[in-house]
A = this chain, B = another copy of it.
Amino acid sequence: MQYRFSENVDALQPSAIREILKFTGMPGVISLAAGNPAPEAFPVEQIRQISARLMEKDPILALQYNITEGYPRLRELLKARMADQKCFHSAVDDLITTSGAQQGNELSCKVLLNRGDTMFCESPSFIGSLNAFRSYGVNLVGVTMEEDGMDLAELEEKIKANPNPRLVYVIPNFQNPTGRVMSLAKRKGLYDLACRYDLVILEDNPYGDLRFSGEPLPSIKSMDTEHRVIYTGTFSKILAPGLRVGYTSAPKEIISKMTVCKQVSDVHTNIWAQIVCAEFLETTDMESYLDGLRAVYRRKCSLMADGIRQHFSKRIRWEMPEGGLFLWCTLPEECDVPAFCTQAVEQYRIAVVPGSAFLVDESETSPCIRLNYSTPSDEQIVQGIEILGRMTREILD
């Protein structure tokens, strides 16, 4: 038969990153293209012990159906943790555990927007979220990402110019792909705009705990006097992504709708993983644990930065991140960046992602590339940056 697909899904294209990532499994290729957290930082021994204890003492709990809202003990621990961070206001908010923060971001769009309604995002931004929004046929409008976050004047213009503006999606800390942090002034300014134009803000914070320099800034959720912020978090970057456990804190009415949608999507999140996360939170001094993680990411980022300073063409501008997984480089305007990335992987066996892959309109061009320092080993970082640097000098200098 001839298949007809839904209009929303038919319009979805496999992302350009997937094309680059195809190369990363090839022998000899050093991948600076992925977005995986550092495997050497996974708390393997603790997870092993928690899992063994659970399967010994309470296997039926770990194997039977559970409730859609999430494993109750994990939810309580997360509510307390989020309340400490001013990301959960018990009088108005509820919290649901999700199958990764990805699910929280997807369901936020599903419960709030009709096909054709407008939502805004930083451009460039995390392509997985953008495609989630696109899969509901929304009018996704990108707003230029400046060094201190979204261009708010441009946002306001686009709010006025688009039909049914409803939602703004931002990653305020160590944004993917730019690694940038939204300034306090812009956080406040964005919240004010949301109040003025009656928008909901979707604040995605997968990397916030991985700040390895500078001072933390208050979340937008912490300013949420009008109850218009949805906050998504995850264990993927601080424990392990294979668990697929995230969480969403939002006003009760929104969580209630998200719960109905999650129930019809996957019933509930794998319960073994939820219990592992709960036990980990309960038995771990999280601040000292996170300090250990931050040290790993600080070191790997410095290693990459040192290599860039030493080897890259001076015509490449790059930004030193204060946390997260990514380092953002800007090439000279005349450079054909997609061709640069193709040559890097085909000729030099170094995989990096062109900035255009993260634009809302992928047909636009970007002078940038995203480098990841969390997934490669130290040796791969050193070697990869040296080879990439040689290439940049050959091409640009």
Contact = CB atoms under 8 A, between A and B. Distances in A.
Interface of A: 1, 3-10, 12, 14, 36, 39, 42, 44, 47-48, 51-52, 55-56, 59-66, 99-100, 102-103, 106, 110-115, 128-129, 131-132, 134-135, 166, 198, 200, 226-228, 236, 239-244, 251, 253-254, 257, 260-261, 263-273
A11 to B, nearest CB: 11
A241 B65 contact: yes
Contacts of A227: 1
B51 A267 contact: no
A9 B136 CA distance: 12
Contact of A63 (B7, B42, B200, B267): B42
Contacts of A263: 128, 131
B47 A55 contact: yes
A102 to B, nearest CB: 5
A251 B116 CA distance: 30
Nearest to A273: B270
A52 B267 CA distance: 26
A240 B66 CA distance: 11
Copies of this chain present: 2
A226 B241 CA distance: 39
Contacts of A51: 51-52, 55
Contacts of A269: 244, 270
A9 B111 contact: yes
Most interface-central of A14, A39, A227, A267 (chain B CB within 10 A): A267
A236 B65 CA distance: 9
B64 A260 contact: no
A66 B242 contact: yes
Nearest to A227: B1
Contacts of A36: 64-65
A65 B266 contact: no
Nearest to A254: B3
A165 to B, nearest CB: 12
Contacts of A47: 55, 59, 63
Nearest to A39: B60
A266 B266 contact: yes
Contacts of A166: 4
A344 to B, nearest CB: 22
A100 to B, nearest CB: 5
10 contacts: A1-B226, A4-B166, A44-B55, A62-B242, A65-B236, A65-B242, A102-B266, A131-B263, A135-B260, A270-B270
A98 to B, nearest CB: 8
A301 B100 CA distance: 38
Contacts of A134: 264
A6 B266 contact: no
Contacts of A7: 114
Contacts of A273: 270, 272-273
A65 B226 CA distance: 36
Contacts of A56: 48
A314 B42 CA distance: 62
